[in-house]
Structure 1
Amino acid sequence: MREQGSAVAWVESPLQLLCAVEARHAGVIGPDTRVVTRGRLPGLGVTRAELDALDLPPGLRIEAAEAGMPRPGRHAAWVLGDAFSGRLQLTSLTAFPSRMVLVDDGLATIRLLELLTAGLGAPLLRARAEARPTRRALGVAAGIRLRAAARAGRLTVFTALPVPAGLAAAVRGLGAELITHDFAWLRSQPARSHPRPPESTVVLGTSLVRNGLIHRDRYLAWLFALEGPLAYYPHRREDPGDLAAVRDHPGVTVYDAGVPVEMTLRDLRPGQRVLSLPSTAVTSLRVLLGARGVPVETVDVPDDWWTPSASVSLRSHLQMFAHERASP
Structure 2
Amino acid sequence: MREQGSAVAWVESPLQLLCAVEARHAGLIGPDTRVVTRGRLPGLRVTRAELDALELPAGLSIQAADQGMPRPGRRDAWVLGDAFSGRMQLTSLTAFPTRMVIVDDGLATIRLLELLTAGLATPLLRARAAAKPSRLVLGVAAGIRLRAAARAGRLTVFTALPVPAALADAVRGLGAELVTHDFAWLRSQPVVAHPRPRENTVVLGTSLVRNGLIHRDRYLSWLFALEGPLAYYPHRREDPGDLAAVRDHPGVTVYDAGAPVEMTLRDLRPGQRVLSLPSTAVTSLRVLLAARGVPVQTVEVPDDWWTPSASVSLRSHLQMFAHERASP
Cα deviation per residue 1:262-310 (whole Å; 9 max; x = unaligned)? 0000000000000000000000000000111000000010000000000
Query: Could you tell me which amino acid in structure 1 is paired with residue 210 of structure 2?
Result: R
**C-alpha distance after superposition, 1:161-208 (max 9, x if no partner):** 000000000000000000000000000111121010010000000000
| Structure 2 residue 292 is the aligned partner of structure 1 residue 292 | yes
Counterpart for residue 164 of structure 2: 164
The residue that corresponds to 1:316 in the other structure is 316
Q: Give the counterpart letter for 2:293 in structure 1.
A: G
User: Counterpart of 1:76?
Assistant: 76
- Partner residue in 1 for 2:206: 206
Unaligned runs of 5+ in 2: none
Partner residue, 1:272: 272
Instruction: Tell me how far apart the structure 2 counterparts of residues 187 and 81 of structure 1 sit (CA, whole Å).
Output: 21
The aligned counterpart of 2:238 is 238
What corresponds to 2:48 in structure 1?
Answer: 48
Residue number in structure 1 paired with 2:113? 113
Go from structure 1 to structure 2 and tell me whether the alpha carbon gap of 1:324 and 1:228 turns closer, same or farther (over 3 Å shift).
closer
Residue aligning to 1:153: 153
Q: Is the 8 A contact 2:22 2:183 kept in 1?
A: yes
Is the alpha carbon distance of 1:85 and 1:216 closer, same or farther for their aligned partners in structure 2, counting shifts above 3 Å? same
Normalising by structure 2, report the TM-score: 0.98
Aligned residues: 325
- How far the C-alpha of 1:2 sits from its partner, in A, is 1.4
Can you list the C-alpha shifts for 1:212-231, whole angstroms capped at 9, x where unaligned? 00000000000000000000
Please name the residue that 2:248 is paired with. Answer: 248
Pair 1:30-2:30 in alignment: yes
What value does the CA root-mean-square deviation take over the aligned residues?
0.8
* Structure 1 gap ranges (5+): none
Give the alignment of 1:188-207 within 5 angstroms.
188-207=188-207
Output the CA distance in 2 between the equivalents of 1:147 and 1:217. 43
Report what 1:20 is aligned to.
20
Structure-1 separation of matches of 2:67 and 2:243: 34
Equivalent AA in structure 1 for residue 38 of structure 2:
R
Matches within 5 A, 1:95-134: 95-134=95-134
The TM-score with structure 1 as length reference comes to 0.98
> In the TM superposition, what whole-angstrom CA distance separates every residue of 1:44-73 from its partner, at most 9, and x where no partner exists?
111000000000000000000011110111
Letter in 2 for 1:75: R
Q: Is the 8 A contact 2:297 2:324 kept in 1?
A: no
Paired amino acid for 1:68: G
1:66 is matched with 66
| 2:143 alignment counterpart | 143
Quote the Cα distance in structure 1 between the aligned partners of 2:246 and 2:76. 46
CA distance in 1: counterparts of 2:41 and 2:297, whole angstroms: 30
Q: Which whole-Å CA distance do the structure 2 matches of 1:74 and 1:103 have between them?
A: 20
Which deviations, in whole Å up to 9, do the C-alpha atoms of 1:134-177 show, x marking residues without a partner?
A: 10000000000000000000000000000000000000000000
**Shift, 1:324, TM fit:** 6.9
Q: State the AA in 1 paired with 2:81.
A: G
1:262 equivalenced with 2:262 (yes/no): yes
Q: Distance in 1 between matches of 2:157 and 2:240?
A: 35
Letter in structure 2 aligned against 1:93: L
- Letter of the aligned partner of 2:186 in structure 1? L
Q: Deviations over 1:85-136 (max 9, x none)?
A: 0011001101000000000000000000000000101000000000011100
Q: Quote the Cα distance in structure 1 between the aligned partners of 2:33 and 2:322.
A: 34
Q: Percent identity?
A: 90
Q: Is the contact made by 2:298 and 2:324 (CA closer than 8 Å) also made in structure 1? A: no
Moved over 3 A (4+): none
Aligned residue for 2:120, secondary structure, equals coil
Give 1:233's aligned amino acid. Y
- CA deviation after TM superposition for structure 1 residue 40, in Å: 1.9
